[in-house]
Structure 1
Amino acid sequence: MLGDALPVTLADGRTVDHVNLDYAATAPCLASAAGAVNELLPWYASVHRGAGAASQRCTLAYERARQTIADFVGARADDHVVFTRNTTDALNLLAGCLPAGTTVVGWAGEHHANLLPWPRAVRLPVPDSPGAAIRALAAALGQLDGPVLVTVTGASNVTGEVWPVAELAALAHRFGARIAVDAAQLAPHRPVSLAESGVDYLALSGHKLYAPFGAGVLVGRADWLDAAPPYLAGGGATARVGDATNDVDWHVGPARHEAGTPNLLGAVALAAVCADLAAADRDALAAHENALLARLRAGLASLPHVAELRTFAADHDRVGIVSFAVADVAAADVSTHLARRYGIGVRDGLFCAHPLTRRLLDEASARLGRPLTGGAVRASIGIGSTAEHIDRLLAGLRDLAVS
């Protein structure tokens, strides 16, 4: 992991190692991602556009990256893997590929990337349990005709709570609908598989998966992607361009939506991390993360001036993300205090999930019996997080209560 021991100077003049508890926004870089980029850089050349040795090597690296990522997400043999910039880009691409008249059904608790792109949307209320989510979806699907796409997060970027993706996929398919999953927060923490879960489309970001080189993917069924207009019009997406206006034959397959020179280094970096994680002991990584998460949540629960945000029951399965608010202290002041006095990086605000975070703040305020203002604070952990990091955060919050 790069950046494990970055020195930062505190307000009192002391120097400490920086503690990164902001993985959910942008995860640190795995050494394998940087190594893959550095290894290929001397050969950096065009992809799919040259017969020279460098171009051929880069083309091979790009397509190998596509296959590595396909394997990592359990793609089916006939799924497409389309390289994008990030999850937001991937879901906007999918929105442009929907058949005419498609209704998109989702929940009000989604990240904006999965809330805003859809042109014809039904937004279901935030459920208080996985069962409620399934019941609400069944009721909605029973009233719809024509093509339908269900969209859902794999794990909430606000609470870390894991959603019942496989159950929702099975339900969608019973009604003849398809399902797309925003796996930006799930994939860094848990194995994902389109084939095993029945998910039709999956989107993720490299920068949340320890590969901060500007690449993401949309993976899923080919027919909608091949039938839609290209996401971008330009070189690489075209099989033939005639002399007359609009006399164009477009490629099918991923190339249809990857016009222009691709982000080769981003693709290679993302594939390197996927290969690393696929070879790792994911159960051991999850056990370490769960121990840290339990330590963090228990520590927060012991602080009478702090309220954790949650949608489902307190014991519901979740990944290493916890959002909370401090009574009578604005979230921005909390994060500044933690940064300047403890060398900790966290996120504050509404986390690009404004409707959900506002609602959860209101609910947490009622539980605490005190006002919670100015957004929430989010601490997120991953590979490289330690018990010392958690303890330093809790110390900073205890200090805030009396400072």
Structure 2
Amino acid sequence: MSITRTDAPHSVLAPLADAGLEVPVLGGGRVRHVNLDIAASAPALAVVAVHVERVLPYYASVHRGTGYLSQASTALVEDARVAVARHVGARIDDHVVFTRNTTDALNLLASAVPGDTVVLDIEHHANLLPWERRGRRVVLAQPTLSATIDSLAAELRPRPAALLSVTGASNLTGEVLPIDVLASLAHEHGARLAVDAAQLLPHRRVDLAASGIDYVAFSGHKAYAPFGAGALVGRADWLDAAPAHLAGGGAVESVGLAASVWRTGPERHEAGTPNVIGISAIASALGELERLGDDARRSHETALTERLHAGLAGIPGVRVLRGFADVDDRLGIATIELERGSVGLVAAALAAEHGISVRAGRFCAHPFFDRLAARANGLRASVGAGSSADDVDRFVDALARLVADGPAHAYDRTPAGWCPRHDDRPRPELG
């Protein structure tokens, strides 16, 4: 199977730090790496990598240091807080709390919710597990989104809940949920709305004030700033009343052996030395996404998404998973299962023989995957702002050949997954 190339390999919207990276393949030789595992961890934007290199010499302690570098690092963190608030349309009295990632942010929020939380079974584990011991009520998604919203209303109507927490876009199917509708639904029944925007925010603008979202959580590593930071943004009252997420320096006004006085505000949950570089990288990435423009990014990624799904539809024995029959809006994510053969083997061969990175498994969304799929595991390909049509074409071509003819090399199934029996690829020299 072959698809006509219509643009150059590097004709991308946003240059990435790994642009042009070549990787070795089995049998010798090197090929340009194709990263279609963006939904798991996106590489840094090139401007973010430059920004990190520029600010590293100024790294120092924050908030209490008197030196020039300390004041510069403090400014990086606090300027980033303002940038994040602006980017997500935060209300003037919302808190921006920096965390390690979305999972960390939602665990923090779970400790602050004064009542039950309602979730859907389609959620990533980051938005399923934190509520498990805190009054979690799970609503089963229906074949259509409209019926699912009706089921949520039926759950919320007779029995109050404090929070409805939903994904902004499925990491399994890419389907985008109507956040403003869900915010209205939650508020109508006396609940607040939290959005796991780990997948959505890097690709679509999120606006708390305009959409009625009460809390949003996201990760830098999915938003082209993979330096170990994330954020929770939202209403102050629950966060100020919650126990400190971490007990330590910076979270307290004063410490006594009998009792301590805890701060309110973001500092209450940011004990210890913050990830200054990671936090600043998030601000840099969000600024670059704003510069690229929402319309340009959406147009670019929509074209790639349509190309990806059209290519997959032309491969016999491949089925694309879909959650809702009435949702046409989706991010550049496609999860497939095969009529026969192992997706794990195919994923290994894509990497080892073609230099293409995808992901195989159940994608930390086990309940949703198990309901949609007939096989034990799926294979997911995902695109982003730095992807190109050539990336999609290479993947579709390679997948079609592997499904039809199998790998060109021998592989063994090991505890670590499928691995080439004789792997002659040299390891990278990383220092």
What TM-score comes out, normalization by structure 1 length? 0.94
The Cα shift of 1:314 comes to 7.2
- Structure 1 residue aligned with 2:128: 115
Deviations 1:96-131, CA, capped at 9 Å, x for gaps: 1112xx111011110000001012111011222221
- Structure 2 residue aligned with 1:103: 116
**C-alpha distance in 2 between matches for 1:352 and 1:223:** 31
Are residues 1:255 and 2:267 paired?
Answer: yes
Code of the residue aligned with 2:328 in structure 1: it is H
Q: After superposition, where does 1:365-380 map in structure 2 within 5 Å?
A: 372=375, 374-380=376-382
Q: Retained in 2: the 8 A contact 1:205–1:217?
A: yes
Code of the residue aligned with 1:54 in structure 2: it is L
**C-alpha distance in 1 between matches for 2:326 and 2:31:** 34
The Cα shift of 1:10 comes to 1.7
The Cα shift of 1:34 comes to 1.8
Q: After superposition, where does 1:35-114 map in structure 2 within 5 Å?
A: 35-99=50-114, 102-114=115-127
Q: After superposition, where does 1:85-164 map in structure 2 within 5 Å?
A: 85-99=100-114, 102-118=115-131, 119-145=134-160, 147-164=161-178
**C-alpha distance in 1 between matches for 2:18 and 2:68:** 34
- Structure 1 residue aligned with 2:180: 166
The Cα shift of 1:133 comes to 2.1
The Cα shift of 1:315 comes to 5.8
- Structure 2 residue aligned with 1:176: 190
Other structure's SS at 2:129 match:
coil
- Structure 2 residue aligned with 1:400: 402
Deviations 1:11-69, CA, capped at 9 Å, x for gaps: 23232101000000000101222222222211111111111111111111110000001
- Structure 2 residue aligned with 1:270: 282
The Cα shift of 1:331 comes to 1.5
Other structure's SS at 1:93 match:
helix
Deviations 1:318-353, CA, capped at 9 Å, x for gaps: 011110012211121110121122110000000000
**C-alpha distance in 2 between matches for 1:285 and 1:216:** 22
Q: Retained in 2: the 8 A contact 1:130–1:164?
A: no
Are residues 1:301 and 2:313 paired?
Answer: yes
**C-alpha distance in 2 between matches for 1:85 and 1:358:** 29
Q: After superposition, where does 1:321-400 map in structure 2 within 5 Å?
A: 321-362=333-374, 372=375, 374-400=376-402
Q: Which runs of 5+ in 1 are unaligned?
A: 363-371
**C-alpha distance in 2 between matches for 1:354 and 1:93:** 23
- Structure 2 residue aligned with 1:367: none
**C-alpha distance in 2 between matches for 1:191 and 1:127:** 27
Q: Retained in 2: the 8 A contact 1:32–1:269?
A: no
Other structure's SS at 1:204 match:
strand
In terms of mean alpha carbon deviation, does 282-291 or 86-95 score higher? Answer: 282-291
Q: After superposition, where does 1:4-15 map in structure 2 within 5 Å?
A: 4-15=19-30
Other structure's SS at 2:123 match:
coil
Q: Retained in 1: the 8 A contact 2:254–2:260?
A: yes
**C-alpha distance in 2 between matches for 1:227 and 1:13:** 60
- Structure 1 residue aligned with 2:221: 207
**C-alpha distance in 1 between matches for 2:24 and 2:74:** 44
Other structure's SS at 1:234 match:
coil
Other structure's SS at 2:373 match:
helix
Other structure's SS at 1:399 match:
helix
Other structure's SS at 2:194 match:
strand
Q: Retained in 2: the 8 A contact 1:87–1:204?
A: yes
Deviations 1:124-154, CA, capped at 9 Å, x for gaps: 1122222112101110111213x52001000
Are residues 1:20 and 2:35 paired?
Answer: yes
Code of the residue aligned with 1:401 in structure 2: it is V
Q: Retained in 2: the 8 A contact 1:81–1:219?
A: yes
**C-alpha distance in 1 between matches for 2:326 and 2:268:** 45
Q: How many residues align?
A: 388
In terms of mean alpha carbon deviation, does 46-55 or 150-159 score higher? Answer: 46-55
The Cα shift of 1:400 comes to 1.5
Q: Which runs of 5+ in 2 are unaligned?
A: 1-15, 406-431
Relative distance call for 1:210 and 1:70 in structure 2 (3 A) is same
RMSD of aligned C-alpha atoms?
Answer: 1.1
The Cα shift of 1:6 comes to 1.4
**C-alpha distance in 1 between matches for 2:142 and 2:48:** 38
What TM-score comes out, normalization by structure 2 length? 0.88
- Structure 2 residue aligned with 1:220: 234
- Percent identity between matched residues is 53
Deviations 1:206-239, CA, capped at 9 Å, x for gaps: 0000000000000000000001110011100001
**C-alpha distance in 2 between matches for 1:63 and 1:89:** 20
Q: Retained in 1: the 8 A contact 2:96–2:266?
A: yes
**C-alpha distance in 2 between matches for 1:21 and 1:157:** 13
Are residues 1:34 and 2:88 paired?
Answer: no
